[in-house]
Amino acid sequence: MTGQRMSVARRTVLRGAVAAGAAAGALSATTLRPTPAHAEPGRSVAVLGAGPAGLTAAHELAERGFDVTVYERRALGGKARSIAVPGSGRDGRPDLWGEHGFRFFPGFYRHLTDTMRRIPFGDNENGVWDNLVAAPEARFSRRGGDDTLLPLGRAGRPWTTPEDFRETVSSAISTTTKMGQADALYFANRLLVFNSSCDARRYGQWDTISWRDYVGAGRRSNEFRMLLSRTLTTLLVAAKDDLASTRTIGTMGEQFLGNPLEIANDGPLDRLLDGPTNEAWIDPWVRRLRELGVKFAGAEVHGLEVADNRISGARVVTTSGVAQTITADYFVAALPVEVARTLWSPEILARRPELAGMAQLTVDWMTGIQFFLRNPSAIARGHAAYVDSPWSLTSISQNQFWNRTPMSGLGDGTVQDCLSVDISDWNTPGILFGKTAKECTHDEIAREVWAQLQAHLNDKQILLRDEDLHSWFLDTGVTWNAAQRRNENADPLLINTAGSWALRPESHRAELENLFLAGDYVRTKVDLATMEGASESARTAVNALLEVAGSTAPRCALFTLYRAPELDPFRQLDETRYAAGQPNLFDVPL
């Protein structure tokens, strides 16, 4: 019997040795530089899926000498990849680049960026990580109202008391958003309530309440409802504020609004890549994985076979249409939630019944469209949010950041900029056709988004001109079903609704000893459908695999999110108050 099919008793004995080397697990993965080695028998891993979760798992395992094969049905990089616009290149120039949605890397991302430092890129001292550039501002655009240009970066002053926190945050909100002081102070206090809540309250109380109810949006001003309830949730994820989990949105608010000095961050608040995602990140990553010995196979997973308490094989269909069963010592399922939950057969659910809860997890659409422009845009030096847009639009003008691959070197040579737009609401009628995005043809989607952008940007001055529009590109995952007169989407997004934490699984349980789950639906500290959550889940899966394998290799580094140390005493007090059924100390009417 191989080392991977050892008995539970043997694994238990080995845990003592692993625990003795636990200090190695605390090492930052940036210090881990094992050389590729021929994997020993019994150390083969099948990674199912090649998005950020799958590639992260493959990377960590290959560095530790495992024999890794990644199986992917479509394209390496998953939703994070760039998508070439077919036939757009002319006279030897490469095609224009489209994408599922614009990529950005907040400063609190640490798992993903830690991996990026270990992906070589030319002469970059820190590998792909050096391709990240900061966005200096953000724009909140109102239809028929004053827009706000918000400088990004370390701002505010240190605070030491809860009262100081309320004053500092409320002052920043009222100044930058022109919101009334009463609303700003109320919201600052809601942030204080969450930030001073213990973990038990966050999971037991706040996860079961929607963000809209938590912030009391129905009792506040329209400006409050639009900015701090609706826009805040759609900026983070394609969620409605009446459905989104307070614990999820509150945790993100704790990182963005509760840490103005960017303490312990990996970098500036808002960062982007300096070129197309594939060129600046995904392709170098795949090259590095191949150097480490990772193999890639084009195949779609159709099912998992179970023998005893193990996955004995995965049924796949290759890109050439051949059905086969693949075997490995370990399986890492790094598939999106809507795909992974179709694989849970009665045999699997009998061993891990909690996986049945995944059927109740919610997915929705957050998908990108790119507008290629003949002239540079001057909308913002960073992201823009279109506060009143029915389709909850956000955008980024990319050429200003693409120092590596300027737009003029792509396509037919006349494109000078790309306005990459995310559509976060596909279920609300638009202003041009009166239809939802799901009901619009692709041409109607492009015209509707363009109209909503112009309604926000051209009300005071002309920032988006029809004559500048060269062409557009909609994510290829969205396809038009002519018979149903509706769109279909191959790449929906997990939405963390109120109460959904109880439905999400852990990465591993002993009842299926060689199956490990990785993806943004797995329980993580980040707790949001993001590349960072995918990376954290993959590292968690690999650490569990190393434990089962009895490996003494250093564990993957896992990072914690920022929490203001000034509030530690109040979080400790809140543990007592929550256990006694009392509200948070600051949860009082204002």
| Sequence spans of domains, the chain | 3-78+276-360+500-549, 84-108+129-135+270-275+364-489, 155-266
Q: Reply yes or no on whether the pLDDT at 498 is more than 70.
A: yes
Backbone angles phi, psi at 405, to 5 degrees: -135, 80
Domain 3-78+276-360+500-549 is of which CATH architecture? 3-Layer(bba) Sandwich (3.50)
C-alpha–C-alpha distance, residues 106 and 422, integer Å: 17
Give the pLDDT band (50/70/90) at residue 29.
very low
C-alpha–C-alpha distance, residues 366 and 422, integer Å: 7
Q: Reply yes or no on whether the pLDDT at 8 is more than 80.
A: no
For range 125-143, the mean pLDDT: 95
- Average the pLDDT over each of 207-211, 244-248, 524-528 and give the range with the smallest value: 524-528
Query: Could you tell me which of 399, 131, 408, 401 has the C-alpha nearest to residue 284?
Result: 131
Partner residues linked to 386 by β-bridges:
141
Q: What's the pLDDT score for residue 179? A: 83
For range 276-305, the mean pLDDT: 97
| DSSP per residue, 536-588 | HHHHHHHHHHHHHHT--SPPPP-------GGGHHHHHHHHHHHHTTPPPTT--
- Cβ distance 135 to 383 under 8 Å? yes
Angle CA 349–354–357, to nearest 5: 100
Q: What's the pLDDT score for residue 157? A: 65
Give the pLDDT band (50/70/90) at residue 19.
very low
C-alpha–C-alpha distance, residues 260 and 338, integer Å: 36
C-alpha–C-alpha distance, residues 419 and 469, integer Å: 10
Q: Reply yes or no on whether the pLDDT at 11 is more than 60.
A: no
N-terminal to C-terminal alpha carbon distance within the chain? 66
Strands (E), 398-474: 417-423, 469-474
pTM above 0.85, yes or no: yes
Q: 512: number of CA atoms within 13 Å, CB side?
A: 28
- Average the pLDDT over each of 17-31, 88-102, 164-178, 427-441 and give the range with the smallest value: 17-31
Give the pLDDT band (50/70/90) at residue 21.
very low
Give tens-digit pLDDT for 80-112. 999 999 999 999 999 999 999 998 899 999 999
Q: What's the pLDDT score for residue 12? A: 33
For range 427-438, the mean pLDDT: 97
Return the DSSP state at 160.
Answer: -
Give the pLDDT band (50/70/90) at residue 18.
very low
For range 411-440, the mean pLDDT: 97
- Cβ distance 141 to 124 under 8 Å? no
Give the pLDDT band (50/70/90) at residue 222.
confident
Q: What's the pLDDT score for residue 236? A: 62
Q: Bigger pLDDT: 36 or 12?
A: 36
For range 321-342, the mean pLDDT: 97
Give tens-digit pLDDT for 47-77. 999 999 999 999 999 999 999 999 999 999 9
Q: Reply yes or no on whether the pLDDT at 129 is more than 80.
A: yes
Residues 6+ apart with CB under 8 A from 335: 48, 49, 301, 343, 519
Give the pLDDT band (50/70/90) at residue 156.
low
Three-class DSSP category at 7: coil
Average pLDDT of the chain to the nearest whole number: 90
Most confident option among 11-15, 262-266, 361-365:
361-365
Q: What's the pLDDT score for residue 406? A: 87
Helices (H) and strands (E) in the chain, counts: 18, 22
Q: Reply yes or no on whether the pLDDT at 570 is more than 80.
A: yes
Alpha helices in 257-393 (DSSP H): 277, 283-291, 337-340, 346-351
CATH number corresponding to 84-108+129-135+270-275+364-489: 3.30.9
